[in-house]
Amino acid sequence: MEGRHRMKSVLLIGLGRFGKHMAIKLHEMKHEILAVDCREERVNEALPYVTNAQIGDGTSEAFIASLGVRNFDLCIVAIGDDFQSSLETTALLKDHGAKFVLSRANRDVHAKFLLRNGADEIVYPERQIANWAAVRYSADNVFDYVQLTKDYSIYEIEMPSEWVGRTIVELRVRQHHEINILGIKYEGKLEPMPSPEHLLRLGETLLIMGSNKSIAKLLRS
């Protein structure tokens, strides 16, 4: 577990809205960031959140060669408004020995090309936000939602009224609903991994994990 929390060196190329948010979050997590964009005003805006920043073009082989990309634990291509630039930058990073390249994609066809040309993983910010918003705001009893894989998610849901006054073991949620209760929240406090003897109360919310199919069935019941 130690390696997961160590400070990492990150090369972030593209400082539009997504890139800037990435810079802010990585800064909060105390990682070392070199941020790059071809627009001077974007580079200046990112300065408070990064270790270093440069004005440069990710599609320039000479510029990419000058960055020493092998020395970064993670290279992020956050260019969202110019797919050709994103593709060329991704390929150049891999050509120059980048260990791990995470590239932003807006569409499936972009993702395929990026993966074929050197990206190790793809992030779809618009799709991920759209999925989250669709789930979160179309169900009255869902307060939050995190997709783990294509088929499995964690949901924070309202306590089903018929569960109030009963214990987790009595409800046999794993057997009857094929979900796991990861935590219980009450008045802003979280109790992780609650005891099977926990008596469920009105006003509590549940953090549950399971297949999207099982959770959808539970929410409909």
65-100 pLDDT, tens digit each:
999 999 999 999 999 889 999 999 999 999 999 999
Whether 19 has a pLDDT exceeding 70, the answer reads yes
Residues 37, 16: Cα–Cα separation, whole Å:
9
**Six token digits for residue 137:** 């705001």
What does the pLDDT read at residue 151? 86
Whether 133 has a pLDDT exceeding 80, the answer reads no
Q: Rounded to 5 degrees, what are φ and ψ at 188?
A: 85, -5
Q: How remote is the C-alpha of 24 from its chain's centroid?
A: 14
Whether 123 has a pLDDT exceeding 80, the answer reads yes
Choose from 9-18, 120-129, 138-147 the range with maximum mean pLDDT.
Answer: 9-18
Whether 45 has a pLDDT exceeding 90, the answer reads yes
**Closest residue by Cα to residue 202 from 174, 160, 143:** 160
Q: Which sign, positive or negative, has the C-alpha torsion 56, 67, 96, 111?
A: negative
* pLDDT band at residue 38 under the 50/70/90 scheme: very high
The HSE-up count of residue 185 (CA atoms within 13 Å, CB side) is 12
Domain with CATH 3.40.50.720 in the chain: 8-123
Q: Rounded to 5 degrees, what are φ and ψ at 74?
A: -145, 135
User: Across residues 54-61, what is the average pLDDT?
Assistant: 96
Whether 1 has a pLDDT exceeding 60, the answer reads no
What does the pLDDT read at residue 150? 79
Q: Rounded to 5 degrees, what are φ and ψ at 140?
A: -65, -25
Q: Which residues contact 11 (CB under 8 A, 6 or more apart)?
A: 33, 34, 36, 67, 69, 72, 74, 75, 76, 93, 98
What does the pLDDT read at residue 2? 40
Domain 8-123 has CATH 3.40.50.720: yes
Please give the share of the chain, as a percent, with pLDDT higher than 90.
Answer: 71
Per-residue pLDDT of 140-173, as tens digits, reads 788 888 888 878 889 999 999 999 999 999 999 9
Domain with CATH 3.30.70.1450 in the chain: 128-220
Higher pLDDT, 153 or 138: 153
Question: What HEC string does 22-66 produce?
Answer: HHHHHHHCCCEEEEEECCHHHHHHHHHHCCEEEECCCCCHHHHHH
Residues 157, 154: Cα–Cα separation, whole Å:
10
Whether 4 has a pLDDT exceeding 50, the answer reads no
Q: Which sign, positive or negative, has the C-alpha torsion 119, 120, 122, 123?
A: negative
- Give the CATH H-level superfamily of domain 128-220: Regulator of K+ conductance, C-terminal domain (3.30.70.1450)
* DSSP three-state, residue 81: coil
What does the pLDDT read at residue 5? 54
Name the average pLDDT for the chain. Answer: 90
What does the pLDDT read at residue 170? 94
Whether 3 has a pLDDT exceeding 50, the answer reads no
**Closest residue by Cα to residue 157 from 138, 140, 174:** 140
**Closest residue by Cα to residue 89 from 36, 133, 125:** 36
What does the pLDDT read at residue 216? 85
